[in-house]
Amino acid sequence: MSADHVLGGVSQLEGNARKEALKLLDDTLAQLATNDGPSYKAVNVTSVTGQVVAGTLNTFEVELDDGSSKRQCTVKIWTRPWLKKDGTNITIKFAGEDGELDRTW
């Protein structure tokens, strides 16, 4: 097992892994909007990391656009696809703000 694929280790995602993570980000933001959450679109992703935990944790440094303003934030998406309920969790922490949005479905 190489150093960049250690269980629990964080690695920068590139190539197809980055493309898959960006699709996950778009799909999860769309799902958030259809539930009770706000509607955001990722417009400038500066970093994508992945971590294998009990499931997969992807962390995005991204600028989100809510239609009226763009803000820099950290988005974390934790997926556990074997769970039929509560298998996806998203947290959004905006730069300079104390609280964070946290939703699970």
Give counts: helices (H), strands (E), the chain.
Answer: 1, 6
- What domains appear along the chain, each with residue ranges and CATH number? 10-97 (3.10.450.10)
How does pLDDT run across 40-99, given as a tens digit for each residue? 999 999 999 999 889 999 999 999 999 999 999 999 999 999 998 999 999 999 999 999
**88 within 8 A of 103, measured Cβ to Cβ:** no
Cα 55 to the center of its chain, rounded Å: 13
pLDDT-derived band of residue 3, with 50, 70 and 90 as boundaries? very low
Tell me the pTM.
Answer: 0.84
Q: Is 76 exposed, middle or buried (0-12, 13-18, 19+ CB in 10 A)?
A: middle
Q: What integer pLDDT is reported at residue 5 of this predicted model? A: 52
Helix (H) or strand (E) holding 63: strand 55-65
Distance separating alpha carbons of residues 17 and 39, to the nearest angstrom = 25
Whether the per-residue pLDDT at 102 is higher than 90: the answer is yes
pLDDT tens-digit series, residues 4-36: 455 678 999 999 999 999 999 999 999 999 988
